[in-house]
Structure 1
Amino acid sequence: MIVLCVVLALVAALGNAAASVLQRRAAATDLSTSAWGRAAGRFGFVRLRVWRWGAGLLALSGVAQALALAAGPLAVVQPVMTTELLFTLVLAAAVFRWPPGAGTWAAFLAMALGLAAFLLLAGPGGGMDSVPPGRWLVSAVPAVVVSAALIFVGMRQKGSARAAVLGTVTAIGFSFTAALIKDTLGLLPDGLGEVISAWQLYTAAAVGLGSFLLLQATLRAGSLAASQPALTLGDSLLSVILGVSLFDESISLGWRVLPELASLGLIAFACVHLSRSPLVSGKEAQRW
């Protein structure tokens, strides 16, 4: 099941990356030569086939992520989802015909190696399919308090500092959304009616929507290089913690803690470098 979980998470990450690149390609298309494009203004690209393909892939990636969460541990799915950055780099290079430099490829390999090393060292596995209700209160209350405090602090910052702080809050939201989805899917053996009536389903939708809106504020606040490490590592680390505290998933610690931290440091370094690449940040569209 772990292999299936990883494969589905990789498919979801690939879908997210492909959707992002296709929709950026649509947004970069010159529509001024068509009558409907001039009439639709800056949002005319939504009628392009390439944009609709991107939207469809985004929906499919959401399904793949949900299936991955149903098939395996939260502490595996969310870290594997960080490969979206790697897929974005490769796909954007092909679509926009902008070859990455040697430094970007080095960051690509560093992130892949760091992620593989962390998963092999931590060895997350096991766990329950659903969460006892009392555990949600123990985890959610501190998360809400910390998120509110970070939003308060972040809105008083500017530029990169604001982007980093808001990125951390967004990561908290995304990790809790994934945990809520996994908990909801764990109710499927009790019947579809139990799932539809479960509070987890509607809470996941609300938290997911709030996190998406907060992501937009994060991206407007500062550079991707400032927010992406917080988004990537925050989501992954908190998901590992939630997997252990909510679902009783297991990870290996002891002597492995130091190399695990080194692996996370390698991922963080690679995230910063990749986020500065025009192929990941979306600045390659300026060439079209």
Structure 2
Amino acid sequence: MTVLTVVMALLSAAFNAATSVLQRRAAVEPATSSGRGPAAAWARAAFLLSQPQWWAGAGAMALSAVCQVIALDVGELSVVQPLLASELLFTLLIGAVVFHRRPDAGTWSSFAVLAAGLALFLAAADPSGGGETADRERWLAVGAVLVAALGFLLGIAAHTGGPLRAAALGSATSVCFAATAALIKEVTVRFPDGAMGVLTTWQTYAAAAVGLTAVLLLQWTLRAGTLAVSQPALTLGDALISVALGVLLFGEDIATGWRLLPELLGACLMAIGVAGLTRSPAVATGERWDDVRT
């Protein structure tokens, strides 16, 4: 675990949080854009594109992607993706400033619990080592398991409702985000070969396809139910699946034995902290500006 890896991963999380907050701020819609149908949709889209905050959020999203790529290039997958869970911490801080909403004691408690859980998990797991690439046989075996898991979770989501559906969709989305990160890590190895090296490897196109699927699933997840259910599944799923992919694909080392106990405790604390933060107006998505304005 290098300093550059940690710094780049945290910067990626911070820029992603800024994207969420700024684009939520830009989504304040005038009365003329209310309603349904194509005309209303175009009016809302035009309004968003006219907002400087929306473009600032788009810029932050691009910076987040760059920082994540750098982090994956120089560090372990099992370090980078768990650190991205700190996005909610940054969302709380940035959202409190942008929305002029002072977090209450419960929110600060959740903040502390998530931070402590993340630190405990990474300290106990102590990810290290590993290679930069995985052979085709490993990708085929791991890919088959991921596809089967994704199909199973989507099947649950399609035939259930309420909290179970939200949890299943959050977990399915986390599978795609973790797989995308693993594919991006493979692509970064081709950077020294230039554009041709990147464009002639299958991982580039797989990362684009799986990443797009993750984004689409995320939109479905956000509409499926409360964030208090879907967000822990998404955040923890991404972190834990990425740790597993780091071990199975790249041979990264994770501490086991007695350290599994503090690792499990850290994961539980993260879940509690995430669930608490998703109830904060500074973090939760889908709210109207009038609901959080002071």
Work out which of the residue numbers 260, 267, 279 in structure 1 matches 2:263.
260
Structure 2 counterpart of 1:258, which letter?
A: L
Q: CA deviation at 1:31?
A: 7.4
Structure 2 counterpart of 1:165, which letter?
A: A
Work out which of the residue numbers 62, 66, 71 in structure 2 matches 1:63.
66
Output the CA distance in 2 between the equivalents of 1:39 and 1:274: 31
Work out which of the residue numbers 76, 91, 109 in structure 2 matches 1:88.
91
- Give the secondary-structure state (helix, strand or coil) at the position aligned to 1:280: coil
Corresponding residue of 2:44 = 42
Work out which of the residue numbers 149, 154, 175 in structure 2 matches 1:146.
149
Query: Is 2:117 aligned against 1:120?
Result: no
Equivalent residues in 2 for 1:53-202 (5 A)?
53-202=56-205
Output the CA distance in 2 between the equivalents of 1:51 and 1:190: 35
Structure 1 counterpart of 2:16, which letter?
A: N
Work out which of the residue numbers 222, 227, 230 in structure 2 matches 1:224.
227
Q: Aligned pair in 2 of structure 1 residues 42, 192: CA closer, same or farther (>3 Å)? A: closer
Q: How many residues align?
A: 284
Output the CA distance in 2 between the equivalents of 1:188 and 1:98: 43
Q: Any stretches of 5+ residues in structure 1 without a counterpart?
A: none
Q: TM-score, normalised by structure 2?
A: 0.93
Corresponding residue of 1:285 = 289
Output the CA distance in 1 between the equivalents of 2:189 and 2:132: 5
Output the CA distance in 2 between the equivalents of 1:278 and 1:129: 40
Output the CA distance in 1 between the equivalents of 2:41 and 2:207: 37
Root-mean-square deviation (CA, aligned residues, Å) is 1.7
- Give the secondary-structure state (helix, strand or coil) at the position aligned to 2:223: helix
Q: Is the 8 A contact 1:9 1:81 kept in 2?
A: yes
Q: CA deviation at 1:39?
A: 11
Structure 2 counterpart of 1:161, which letter?
A: L
Residue identity (%): 49
Structure 1 counterpart of 2:70, which letter?
A: L
Q: Aligned pair in 2 of structure 1 residues 234, 32: CA closer, same or farther (>3 Å)? A: same
Q: Any stretches of 5+ residues in structure 2 without a counterpart?
A: 34-39
Q: CA deviation at 1:28?
A: 1.7
Q: Is the 8 A contact 1:174 1:235 kept in 2?
A: yes
Output the CA distance in 1 between the equivalents of 2:30 and 2:97: 19
Output the CA distance in 1 between the equivalents of 2:254 and 2:17: 28
